[in-house]
Amino acid sequence: MATPTRERIVQSSAELFRRQGFTGTGVKQIVAEASAPFGSLYHFFPGGKEQLGEEVIRWSGALYGQLIDIFFPPGADPVTATRAFFEGAAQTLVETDFADACPIATVALEVSSTNEPMRQACAEVFEGWVALASERLSAAGISRARSRRLAMSMLCSLEGAFVLARAMRSTEPLQVAGAACAQAVREARRRR
């Protein structure tokens, strides 16, 4: 079954933005990758590339947010889950020759100072991830306030580790960040 044109445009854009960034991706490239007529982008996204960018950020954010559900299912040991989460991120980088990291961070770094609607979409996605991870950590017996700080710290560590790992072409930053985050979760559980 063929994927509807709008969905192909969003999926193709997400892949291109993750690898090349928002500004490094042209509209012609998007429609070519999506096997879509040029006018279809403006048919589905009358606001043009910016409106498409906001949609892609939210779509990618929801998709990548599912990783929290996968690695931190209800009842999972949060220390083990944290370690596995960072190991999974490192494995993805290796498998993609260090090309695929966080699709939201790639765009956020580019547009946060120049495009308020896209900055806001990125912020909403990051906040949603922090809220979901906080919820999972709270369910594991960590106080709500500490869970939020831990979730924020883990996201900061992950995004920073992605930048270093891609630049260094090494998974060491993810290994170091993952170990530090797992230790922080372990200590937080002891302090309940």
- Is it the case that residue 136 has pLDDT exceeding 70? yes
pLDDT of the residue at 1: 45
User: Quick one: pLDDT at residue 168?
Assistant: 97
The tokens of 2 are what? 């063929």
Residues 6+ apart with CB under 8 A from 100: 18, 19, 92, 93
Contacts of 126 (CB under 8 A, 6+ apart): 104, 108, 155
Distance in angstroms (rounded) separating the CA atoms of residues 192 and 170: 35
As a whole number of angstroms, the distance between CA 64 and CA 67 comes to 6
**CA separation for the pair 52, 117 (Å, rounded):** 11
pLDDT digits 0-9 by tens, 57-107: 999 999 999 999 999 998 899 999 999 999 999 999 999 999 888 889 989
pTM (predicted TM-score)? 0.91
118: tokens are: 């896209």
pLDDT of residue 103: 85
Q: Cα–Cα distance between 116 and 50 in angstroms, integer?
A: 10
pLDDT tens digit sequence for 18-28: 888 899 999 99
